[in-house]
Structure 1
Amino acid sequence: MKRYIIAAISILAFAASMVSCTDHEVIRQLNDVEAYINEHPDSALSVLDSMSAESIRGREANAKFALLYSIALDKSYIDATDDSLINIAVDWYRKHGTAGERLKSYYYQGRVCQNSGDNEAAMGSFVRAEAYAGQSDDKTAAGLLYLAMSNISMDIFDMNKVLEYSSDAEKIFKETEDTARYSSSLLKVCTYYSIQEDYEKASDILDTLAALWDNMDMQNRNSYFQMKLDLFKETGNLDSLSSGLEEYIDTFPIEEINLLSISEYFLALGEADKALS
């Protein structure tokens, strides 16, 4: 990860020494990258790496490059912990650009803080980003922001905020018909109701999630199954727990199965021998 940040900073450091007038052709190129960065972040990162320092002139171009590079890293699962790049974008968009650009600059600043393990600083950036959520045309970015805020709230066990932020994300992703992220948001809401022991509402959400199975990734499918099995266990529905447990084991490869949870389910069924095997 560090080499990516160093390379990007080197490009911008050289660019800063050039004439300050923004090259609108470069802005157009960066806009082209922005158009596909969500679907193909690896390609976006490659194109950004290939851009010459001489071509990136002016603070606006520097800021847009820094923001897009930070987005490409995050979406390529490259966890940046150095905020020197994203801060270039934050410094510019604090007073310039659209609400969406301001939201994303603060959001990705927060993501860097999260990667560094500083949830307090991350939440500070997210709160600043939230100020632009209602004005932003980029609904996906707003939804991701609320999911991230929900995750931090879960870490500090602020359950009211978990429900608030997860529900905000759920509404956005339902509106944008982003089924995969809609599922992630619903799972967060379901977690809240399960912890609060409101099993009726948790069950209703699981019914909704069942219809979204084909659009869930492996992690969300696994979470859905475990929440369903936990619900059966907590409500004493042992017949459903038994059949659901068998289905869970048949559905997922062994490396994806939570063996500790499996043991707890077998113990609840009175099958201690299987729990130990």
Structure 2
Amino acid sequence: MKYPIHIALLIFVLLIFLSISVGCNRGEKNEASQQMNIAENLLDTAPDSALIILDAIKEDELYNREMKARHSLLKSMALDKRYIDTTTFDVLQPAINYYLENGSPDERLRTLYYQGRIFRNRGEDDKAMETYMYASEVKGITDSLTFAHLLVAKSVLYDRQYKLKEEAEIRLIAAPIYESLHKMRPAVRSYTNALVNNVILEEKSRADSILKVCQRLVKEYPETEEDFLPSYITYIMTYGSDSEKRELLDNYCATDSSKTMRLSRAYGYSTLGEGEKALECLKGIELEPTDSLRYFSVMKSAYESIGDFRKALDCQVNFTRHLARYDTNLFESDLLFAEKKYALEISNLMEKQKRYSIIWVSVITFLFLSLVSATLYYLFRDMKSKKAMGDMEIKTVQKEKENSELQRIAAENALERQALELENLRLEKSQLEDEMEHLGTLLEQDRKLSSEMQETIRKRLDMLNSRLAMEITNNESYAIPYKKWIESVKRDKKEFMDSTRMTFTASHPHFIRHLTEHGLDEDEINYACLYALGLRGKDVGNYIELKRHYNVSTTIRRKLGIDDNQSTLHVYLRKLLHSKLKKQRRD
């Protein structure tokens, strides 16, 4: 059947119109995508311009869900860069609807992060925490900066729950990420937050190590000093001497009139008993809810130092009232239960997945058994012709099972080795911290030590701090002083033996006194200290590299009255060290 001419012409016109429409749509798509690309490149340097470009894109130019989601997420990021806090999901909702189901790992991470920010702006901290925890579970991300922002946002919510240890740990994860991205001010702020929390938790050795990292960054990047100084004041006011406190307050803090610095100065003067100066620093401060507890705590201490106990009591009452209000708001927000709620949801999800797995395993098992039955039936009918092939298949299956079992055993052995190595690392770290704490306590409590002995102990403390800083940050650069010290120990054996004897003189005076009373000279005491460290005779000989080592050992045994058959020298000296240490502790 032939169409009339006018119908054929109409069809031709319609085809041309459709082609033009498709071409226009493609052009609009390319134009909108190019504009969003430009806006994305401007987010970090010119967020105002990026927001103007995004606002200029019309809604009808975003013809599918993916483009609407991208536009939605970019606009939310631009608003955040301009510090515009929104409490509605109008802008972000298209991204939530699309990316959480179809987005890449980075797109899902960013969407969840900004969703949590909106919950925070709405005062729904429990939902914010739950959202951040979901974001933390996203695998395969490459956007390290957004992940670091996510960790900091979680730490703020931990701070609201008084979980200082968790807050410090998560900040120590975020800080190296910022540092690797050359975001030095956020990195220093994360380190200083962990520093203050460890000071509050009375973890001095850990605080010392973090302080060393902060001082290195401030030296390399002077613009971060203003972020570091308030936490440094807190550290000095807790662990520093009165002269260090006064020097810091008078020389470094007097020119900074910010609210944070004024509160820090007031706290410092109150610890020195100078209440008048502390009260002067507190005058005219405009309080926010987050500052009230610290403000009244410092003011209470200031009034107590000048003897005005009535006003100090008023400050204590205000502190208690604000603390009760804060706790009430915290419990009403359900933030404390957000993690448990998340864990419960994950548990329910795992239970559902387990049930589904059982169903699928049952189906697969049924199909497998059916297949096996059919195969056996077929083999039964044609047993003679297929018997050899069947035997070969059985052997192959058995070999694969044996290989699988060997691989499983090898994997278990590897896991055991890794666990043992991890335990050894933890033990080494614990021993470092114990030695640092013991030597630090010795320096603080025993002021009668000679300056040379104090310098020796401080040198060992610095080396241990360098090693512990490497363990915390996993950065080999902090272990450079420690490695140089080890090399110097190998080169200058006399200096090392003398420093070891001086350290034992400070930490185990009863042991050194016993050796001296039995007539041992300094060189012989040096040898004895090497044995007391746990070295055996062969180890000492290899380290000293002198043949007369055996003559010295014989002299020491004779002076100490050790019979040749009684005990080996290193065992005797180790037992003597422990017995004198017990006596020293009793005294």
- TM-score bracket, shorter-length normalisation: 0.7 to 0.9
Q: What is the one-letter code of the residue matched to 1:119? A: D
Q: 1:130 to 1:24 in 2, by over 3 A?
A: farther
Higher helix share: 2
> In the TM superposition, what is the alpha-carbon distance from 1:264 to its structure 2 partner?
2.5
Q: CA RMSD in A?
A: 2.4
Any stretches of 5+ residues in structure 1 without a counterpart?
1-18
> In the TM superposition, what is the alpha-carbon distance from 1:257 to its structure 2 partner?
5.1
Quick check: 1:69 aligned with 2:52? no
Distance 1:24 1:80 in 2: 30
Q: Which has the larger radius of gyration?
A: 2
Q: 1:275 to 1:250 in 2, by over 3 A?
A: closer
Distance 1:243 1:148 in 2: 35
Percent identity reads 26
What pairs up with 1:231-270 in 2 under 5 angstroms? 231-252=235-256, 254-256=257-259, 258-270=261-273
2:279 aligned partner? 276
CA deviations over 1:33-82 (Å, ceiling 9, x no partner): 22231232222111111222232221111111111111111111001111
> In the TM superposition, what is the alpha-carbon distance from 1:181 to its structure 2 partner?
1.8
> In the TM superposition, what is the alpha-carbon distance from 1:240 to its structure 2 partner?
1.0
TM-score by length of 2: 0.41
2:208 aligned partner? 203
- Range that drifts further, 85-94 or 168-177: 168-177
Any stretches of 5+ residues in structure 2 without a counterpart?
1-24, 281-587
1:51 aligned partner? 57
1:38 aligned partner? 44
1:150 aligned partner? 155
> In the TM superposition, what is the alpha-carbon distance from 1:149 to its structure 2 partner?
0.7
What pairs up with 1:119-138 in 2 under 5 angstroms? 119-132=125-138, 134-138=139-143
TM-score by length of 1: 0.82
1:107 aligned partner? 113
Distance 1:264 1:186 in 2: 21
Distance 1:137 1:76 in 2: 24
Quick check: 1:159 aligned with 2:164? yes
What pairs up with 1:80-95 in 2 under 5 angstroms? 80-95=86-101
Q: What is the one-letter code of the residue matched to 1:39? A: T
Quick check: 1:190 aligned with 2:203? no
- Range that drifts further, 25-34 or 118-127: 25-34
Q: 1:215 to 1:48 in 2, by over 3 A?
A: farther
> In the TM superposition, what is the alpha-carbon distance from 1:192 to its structure 2 partner?
2.4
Aligned residues: 254
The partner residue of 1:26 within 17, 25, 32 is 32
Q: Which structure has more RCO (C-alpha within 8 Å, separation ≥ 6)? A: 1
Distance 2:248 2:234 in 1: 10
Q: 1:148 to 1:251 in 2, by over 3 A?
A: same
8 Å contact kept, 1:206–1:224: no
CA deviations over 1:235-258 (Å, ceiling 9, x no partner): 252111111112333442x24454
- Range that drifts further, 40-49 or 201-210: 201-210
Q: 1:126 to 1:196 in 2, by over 3 A?
A: same
2:217 aligned partner? 212
Q: 1:118 to 1:97 in 2, by over 3 A?
A: same
8 Å contact kept, 1:173–1:181: yes
